[in-house]
Structure 1
């Protein structure tokens, strides 16, 4: 018994390390973006791909990564994902060109897409259902919180003291330790019989389609909306996404059964996630640029200034954990979305060349982050309500993919909006562009709240089950990014 308990703790340590490093890498680069641009000579539209390359690869391949463990085994997937993630981190820290850094970030996203679902699975296998698993999932969520919060602060410290390259190279020793521990902790894969087929075509089509869509949005500064380049790129995106739908309808084991989106709660939950993180990703991006380019903060001060947002997210998630059973999913999503929208709107009104931390950053950060935190706990229930048990993993992968892809699309839109609104590169023009982007971010969160009000049923019982991993901040420093979503048990979930 003691041997089994010790082995389970070692497996948990590996899984928590994986979650921490994936979370760290989502947030650690934000503070280093201005230094990356100055050192490597990024163009005005290219810098956001340091963030988007990771998010798109992660989101587009996340469902495929979950299936990969079924094909080649959990140990092989974990070891391969760690090796790929570590190699990409090393390469990204040594590159000398913008394209090289973007490519390294994309490969990191591929590795993360394999790591997040398999590490979560390791916990559910090592710990039986009950209090032990609940505690393990709570620690899993705390690892995500620590990665997100530590990332923004450590990113500032590393950038200030050792340069931006260190924010990528810091992953290498962590990955090496995880690889050594994984060889001992995770048992070799033993498989028999035929292996299920992997839907590689579906994964490539959805990732290619979303990348083309983001590319078309980003380049509207250079190519007008009616230009052949923009229309051609948008057309290619639509063709690829339409082909994805066709493939998913025909393959025996699809990444996504399209009919799943016919369930109103699933549709509402994923639409909410898409809109919520469209606004939140952009908020982190523009807040980092505003504090460094307009307020003149150094990387350390910028990293520290992000901590109230992380704290507010934790506070909101803790409140939602206790209130979801009493208030219900729809009430929390609508209220949290509106509160987050108010915070983003406050950002848009408050930032300017004469602003300061207390009036332009602290207040809006706390309001927006508490609102975001209130939303994430019930999202797990909303996005999986009524889903059959065999498709629960698919629904979980879908909502996590919606988060990553929504962040990429939102960031592309907001960067375009900010650039058009600014009209120049002087501090006052840039601040005006950032303010407009925050206003649009608030509008996205308000639309998310409206979608929840219109599409979700009035009351979904069993909301208290959507805790644990879902209740903790995610890889970008906000709650809910644990690679899976803990859903209400099927027997306790019912519609009014």
Structure 2
């Protein structure tokens, strides 16, 4: 298939080489801009949830669906969207995803009822999945040389941290100064600009077409399995992990996933070639990512709850308090990760980053009820900067086996495990925190102490997840072979 830039046959003249380099940089900037909007939206909504609840009259259980509807669509469609990018062209899928996300953001902004907002958030999830699923695949084909690819992935990781930090602060400011509708209106100029620039800047790529790999049954099975699985996970807070509903839906989701794997083993043109999992790095990096994102995403949600429910911070103050963590992650991603990966190898850098995250969450597991920000929280926020090492190294390892023919599928898989990790982390850690808090309150502890006790248990479990990720990294992952970045894991049937 035709890739985004004819790098291997580029003219050798200096002016042509510089023009090709500028073209790749512009393409990377467009991809980062699109992801900035999607990630910013994810963090900005979290801060504005109380205002949305008050304005639209959501019950606590109903309010969660403003987040869950997005997560179900986003996580459920990533793998399918990535494969579609390989088949029909990643540029088409990326631009269509940005357009749908932007239109759905406008629908969110004008929503005056609960049903419209939840439906619009579901549409946002579809658009976000389409754009996100192919982004890493496009970076892989744009930058086949390992050192350049490392720098591009570092910039992409920095975008994620920037979106998170801007969203946390901007969400609080817009909600308090104007109203919650503006958290969605902010997406319109970003989305329109990114989509228009993508049409002009990204080179067209032409996949073999749907007939070359349109495994319709496989697509239905995996989309249903992922959506049902995420739906089951996000509902555990209300129904419990041992309820008949959770166990029944979880079993059905597992059955659908098993049927999908059987289908992929037998299909002539599978949606997800199982040969990809023969790569230790692809399999290991995705497993490590589930554990890591579970701990890190749990950190983001639980710290925000601790600041507001225990220390009494407002929305804007919460965003500002968490800003050093996002800035640290972004700075490490942009300034250090690529050079450290090139010098010491992604596996060693990943181990160092995980060690920093374990230390950060270990400190949180000792938080007092009346914490002061500078001595008790700021050191943790700075240590979380290790996430900048983790994210870039994990991305490089997870995409190390992807070539031009399957880059979208590998990207969709990597983004899927990220979303599964986020959903699991929030569901498990918030459930543990709530159970521990209830037990302490029933034993007569003051409300602040009971809440803090719940958060401390959740942070300790999150640290444990990262310890397991550290061990798995040390045992399973290996330095990518020099040629791995330039060839597919296996021939496409």
Q: TM-score, normalised by structure 2?
A: 0.81
Deviation at 1:452, TM superposition (A): 1.4
Deviation at 1:446, TM superposition (A): 1.1
What is the 5 A alignment of 1:241-390?
A: 241-317=257-333, 318-352=335-369, 354-367=370-383, 369-384=384-399, 390=405
1:231 has 2:266 as partner: no
Deviation at 1:431, TM superposition (A): 3.0
Name 1:482's counterpart in structure 2: none
8 Å Cα contact 1:221/1:420 also seen in 2: no
What is the 5 A alignment of 1:482-493?
A: 488-489=485-486
1:378-422 deviations in Å (ceiling 9; x for gaps): 223433456677445433332222111111121111122122122
1:396 has 2:396 as partner: no
Deviation at 1:221, TM superposition (A): 5.1
Counterpart secondary structure, 2:465: helix
1:163 has 2:185 as partner: no
1:172 has 2:188 as partner: yes
Q: 1:98 to 1:249 in 2, by over 3 A?
A: farther
Deviation at 1:38, TM superposition (A): 3.6
Q: 1:36 to 1:422 in 2, by over 3 A?
A: farther
What is the 5 A alignment of 1:95-244?
A: 95-118=111-134, 140-185=156-201, 195-220=211-236, 222-223=238-239, 225-244=241-260
Q: 1:99 to 1:293 in 2, by over 3 A?
A: farther
1-side partners of 2:150 and 2:356: how far apart? 29
8 Å Cα contact 1:350/1:359 also seen in 2: no
1:193-214 deviations in Å (ceiling 9; x for gaps): 8743434543443343234334
Flag structure 1 segments of 5+ consecutive residues without an equivalent. 466-486, 492-496
1:299-357 deviations in Å (ceiling 9; x for gaps): 222211122111222344444433334544443333322321221121121152x1232
Deviation at 1:245, TM superposition (A): 1.4
Q: 1:347 to 1:201 in 2, by over 3 A?
A: farther
Number of equivalent positions: 465
2-side partners of 1:327 and 1:192: how far apart? 38
Q: In the alignment, which of 410, 413, 425 is matched to residue 428 of structure 2? A: 413
2-side partners of 1:135 and 1:323: how far apart? 11
What is the 5 A alignment of 1:2-151?
A: 14-74=30-90, 76-118=92-134, 140-151=156-167
Deviation at 1:140, TM superposition (A): 4.7
Counterpart secondary structure, 2:47: coil
Computed over aligned residues only, the root mean square deviation of the Cα atoms, in angstroms, reads: 3.6
Counterpart secondary structure, 2:45: coil
Name 1:480's counterpart in structure 2: none
Q: Which moved more, 1:21-30 or 1:39-48?
A: 39-48
Q: 1:184 to 1:448 in 2, by over 3 A?
A: closer
1-side partners of 2:205 and 2:327: how far apart? 40
What is the 5 A alignment of 1:467-478?
A: none
8 Å Cα contact 1:67/1:198 also seen in 2: no
1-side partners of 2:215 and 2:35: how far apart? 25
Name 1:473's counterpart in structure 2: none
1-side partners of 2:235 and 2:473: how far apart? 32
Counterpart secondary structure, 1:280: helix
1-side partners of 2:207 and 2:342: how far apart? 41
Q: TM-score, normalised by structure 1?
A: 0.80
Q: 1:55 to 1:203 in 2, by over 3 A?
A: farther
1:234-287 deviations in Å (ceiling 9; x for gaps): 222222222221232233333322343243332221111010001111111112
1-side partners of 2:339 and 2:19: how far apart? 33
Counterpart secondary structure, 1:306: helix
Deviation at 1:448, TM superposition (A): 0.8
Q: Which moved more, 1:191-200 or 1:172-181?
A: 191-200
Flag structure 2 segments of 5+ consecutive residues without an equivalent. 1-14, 489-493
Name 2:7's counterpart in structure 1: none
Q: 1:428 to 1:257 in 2, by over 3 A?
A: same
Q: Which moved more, 1:315-324 or 1:428-437?
A: 315-324
Deviation at 1:445, TM superposition (A): 0.9
8 Å Cα contact 2:141/2:403 also seen in 1: no
Q: Which moved more, 1:46-55 or 1:181-190?
A: 181-190
Name 1:437's counterpart in structure 2: 458
